[in-house]
Amino acid sequence: MGATLSQFKNRPDPFVVPPNGRNTMYPPKRPTEEPAETSIRTMVIGSIVVAVLCAAALMATSPMLPMAWDEGNSILRAEQIPDRWQYTTASEGHPAFYGMVIAAGDRVGSYFLSPLDSARLGPIVLFAVAAGAMFFRMWKEFSLVGAVGAVAALMLMPRMFAHAHFASFDGPLVSCWILTWALFMLPASTPKRRWIVQVLWGIALGMTLSCKATGWIAPVPFICWALIYRNRYAIGTVLLGLPVALLTFVGLNPPIWDAPLAGMQTFFNLNLGRADQEGLNISTYFLGRMYNLDHSLPWYNTLLWTGISVPLGILLLSLVGLCTSIKRFRADGYGMLLVLNWAVLMVVRALPGVPPHDGIRLFLPCFAFLAALAGVGCAVVFARAEELWQKALTLAVIGLLLVTGAGSVWYYAPNWLSYYNLAIGGLPGATKMGMEPTYYWDALDGDVLDWLHENTAEDEKVKFGSSSPENLELMRRWGTLNRETADRAPGNFRWYVIQHRPSGLFPADHWLIKNVEPKYRTSLLDVPLVEVYDYADYQKSLRETK
């Protein structure tokens, strides 16, 4: 079933190369070790089952989750593949692989799913595969309890659960980063075949680089780990895998095929020069103050976000895993690999000049490895139980801690991006502390749209404040929004719709919220998320705020 952490104490450190230079991390197996082979087969079967269950859970809940802000733009770009590639050297410079994932899923899903669920199919399947890979590697390196705990934590963080659905770039980025970690130092059938695993690691890393510019930070923890532990297999993996990753990036980004070096330069210029691009210096509201690229978030923002946006039970288990991995950094090198992957974006997001918007979205991969550390915590706690009754009690305690996540996913559905834990008083407490209650238009659900359709004549229009024009275009095309929204379209506006994202509100919006009672409101825990105002009141607010 895989070794528990307690068993690591009685065997040589598997991550440190001894003085004679021979790598003993994965000693050769004896021909008679048939149980180990059977165990690997069992792990693979279990991982496939986990992947299928995760995919089923995400697909089942996708219809209840409204289209999020970046999905419209991502879907429209993916629709142009392969005739046109609006990636890498265009717009803000997002690389192309996430678009390929969306396009591939949409080609298959369009036969049996709604348009939005069809576009989400590719990212959901990729995330499910990554969850299965996490289950396999956690089981192999720690224990079955650790593997179950890690995947449960991954799926029961409300904000992670939401992003795992979206036809956008953050979910695929997380998935590819998990796959990169799962393939690193994976033992081959024979030492001579390690190069195959190393090449696969490089391909997975190249996929990570090709999901989002943030993915270019992914090599850092693996390079650091290889240098810290001076493991020849790890160093060889990095030396072979990095060139493979670069070749994979070029192969997955057709816009730079004609001139790879110039294309790469344009790619980095676009991604590192967002302050100079119109509309990309996006603000965020954090503890009652506005921040953007010109006014950086305080250094502790990642720690605070982690402390208030993860269910407390999962957070406690991850702290156990984190502290144990650091304490046993020599004997438990694989735990430190998780720590390094968790820490790298935590540090980068805390640096001055880094984009600050959208809650935890811009350092979302950290939370995948926080889930893995929660799995380590589960393994540690369970390994300390010796008697049968102690093991049963320990499993019950672990289950109760994970249930805090399950309860949060159920209670906040489908507004998982509005989740805050009890440490800050939930969503009401976070709002009082000056945090954004919502930011991705994910509260524009079926109830809001039904009300608009019922209360808007066919020759009348609806105006949305700070909305995504691509989202509105697709919602009109798919029939989920049956009223005109464009200024140039015929008819008069009847309603004005806003979401309660402080960083996206105009002065007129603030005046409306303060002085006018909305005609319709959707709330969570008595905190407004989306409000509908009479358009005449909106016009009055424009006059009052000139």
Q: Where are the domains of the chain?
A: 5-412, 446-544
Q: What is the DSSP letter of 22?
A: -
Counting every residue, how long is the chain? 546
Q: What is the model's pLDDT at position 385?
A: 85
Write the DSSP assignment of 400-441 as a string of letters: HHHHHHHHHHHHHTT-GGG---GGGTHHHHHHHTT--S--SS
pLDDT band for 241, please (50, 70, 90 cuts): very high
* Encoded amino acid at 323, one letter: C
Q: What is the model's pLDDT at position 24?
A: 33
Residue 455 CA: distances (Å) to CA of 500, 532, 535, 538, 540: 22, 11, 13, 17, 21
Whose tokens are 């992914």? That residue is 218
Summarize pLDDT for 45-74 with one digit per residue, the tens.
Answer: 999 999 999 999 999 999 999 999 999 999
Summarize pLDDT for 291-327 with one digit per residue, the tens.
Answer: 999 899 999 999 999 999 999 999 999 999 999 999 9
pLDDT band for 386, please (50, 70, 90 cuts): confident
Give the other-Cβ count within 10 Å of 91's Cβ. 13
Q: Render the burial of 185-201: b for 16+ CB within 10 Å, e for the rest.
A: bbbeeeeeebeebbbbb
pLDDT band for 119, please (50, 70, 90 cuts): very high
Task: Examine the pLDDT at 265 and tell me if it is beyond 90.
Answer: yes
Query: pLDDT averaged over the chain?
Result: 91
Q: What is the model's pLDDT at position 275?
A: 75
Tokens linked to 38: 């059977």
Strand 492-499's sheet: what is its strand order?
460-464, 492-499, 527-534, 520-524
| Calpha distance 455→496 (Å, rounded) | 13
Write the DSSP assignment of 210-252 as a string of letters: TT-GGGGGTHHHHHHHHHHHT-HHHHHHHHHHHHHHHHHHHHT
Whether residue 160 contacts residue 64, with contact meaning beta carbons closer than 8 Å, is answered with: no
Q: What is the mean pLDDT of residues 254-262?
A: 95
Q: What is the model's pLDDT at position 173?
A: 98
The more confident residue out of 437 and 20 is: 437
Give the other-Cβ count within 10 Å of 462's Cβ. 22
pLDDT band for 187, please (50, 70, 90 cuts): confident
Contacts of 258 (CB under 8 A, 6+ apart): none
Summarize pLDDT for 12-42 with one digit per residue, the tens.
Answer: 333 333 333 333 332 333 333 334 444 889 9
Whether residue 478 contacts residue 115, with contact meaning beta carbons closer than 8 Å, is answered with: yes
The backbone torsions φ and ψ at residue 497, rounded to the nearest 5 degrees and listed phi first, read -115, 130
Q: What is the model's pLDDT at position 16?
A: 38
pLDDT band for 3, please (50, 70, 90 cuts): very low
| Calpha distance 473→475 (Å, rounded) | 6
Q: What is the model's pLDDT at position 14?
A: 37
pLDDT band for 530, please (50, 70, 90 cuts): very high
Summarize pLDDT for 157-181 with one digit per residue, the tens.
Answer: 999 999 999 999 999 999 999 999 9
Residue 414 Rama label (left phi>0; alpha psi -120 to 50; beta) = alpha
| Calpha distance 489→349 (Å, rounded) | 42
Contacts of 327 (CB under 8 A, 6+ apart): none
Q: What is the model's pLDDT at position 388?
A: 87
Contacts of 264 (CB under 8 A, 6+ apart): 256
Q: What is the model's pLDDT at position 8?
A: 36
Whether residue 333 contacts residue 145, with contact meaning beta carbons closer than 8 Å, is answered with: no
